[in-house]
Amino acid sequence: MRCMSLTSELVALCHRQETDPGPDGSWTQLTDEDYRSLSARLAEEADDGPLWVFAYGSLIWKPAFESVERQRATAFGWHRSFCLDMVRWRGTAAQPGLMMALERGGRCDGVIYRLPDGDKAEQIERLLRREIDDHESVSSVRWVPVRTAQGVVRALGFWVGVTGRGTSLGQPLDRVARVLARACGHVGSGAEYLYNTVSHLEEFGIRDRNLWRLQQLVADEIRSIHGSTLGASA
């Protein structure tokens, strides 16, 4: 198996200490009642069986929820894309970043997690509070049919089919690589996010062709930026 070009040593070069600027006042923040209402609606739309969550990015390596089962799954009609503009979290206003969402077209191989039996609305609300914080993002939360070895199930997906303000759809990989090699926010860098995603997908035997190419491009970009400071190990 080929090793990743993007290494932890290269990722470390992208880290900077940044201050959390707080919520952007131009977005409409969700209230506690909004979260309760949305989670109740999604719980009503859920199937009678177990609650599944589809993970394709950070939910794979930082799920922030308890699960009792996980397995590979494929969402057809969607593909991973660094298309969410970030001026917080993993970017700043001075050096904006990009985060992943699912754009239309193609297929996305990921992982589904089955949550413990219990109050679905309560479980969904915890997920919503992790993933979204404004009204403008609500439409990106949806039930996604995914194919598994046992058949098709419906799983809750986040940042699916995003459009409009705050998105940069269909960007070429070389442009994305330039952003990820430079952007860093108070929770970490874009390169770190990519590295964690690709390496954890590899653990499941999943190699996303675009992400694999992207990690090579980001590694090259970091080397071009920090060439004079790189040690032999990088």
Active site residue ranges: 131
| Pair 96, 166: CB distance under 8 Å | no
User: % helix / strand / coil in the chain, to the nearest 5?
Assistant: 35, 25, 40
Q: For the chain, how many residues are written?
A: 234
Nearest-10 crossing angle of helices 173-180, 190-203: 110
Report, in angstroms and rounded to the nearest whole number, the Rg of the chain calculated over CA atoms: 18
Type of residue at 116: P
CA distances from 181 to 29, 172, 188, 229 (A): 30, 15, 12, 15
Classify residue 52 by its DSSP letter: E
Token pair 């071009």 is found at 224
Report the distance separating Cα 7 and Cα 213, nearest Å: 14
Q: Encoding tokens for residue 5?
A: 């070009």
Report the distance separating Cα 212 and Cα 82, nearest Å: 13
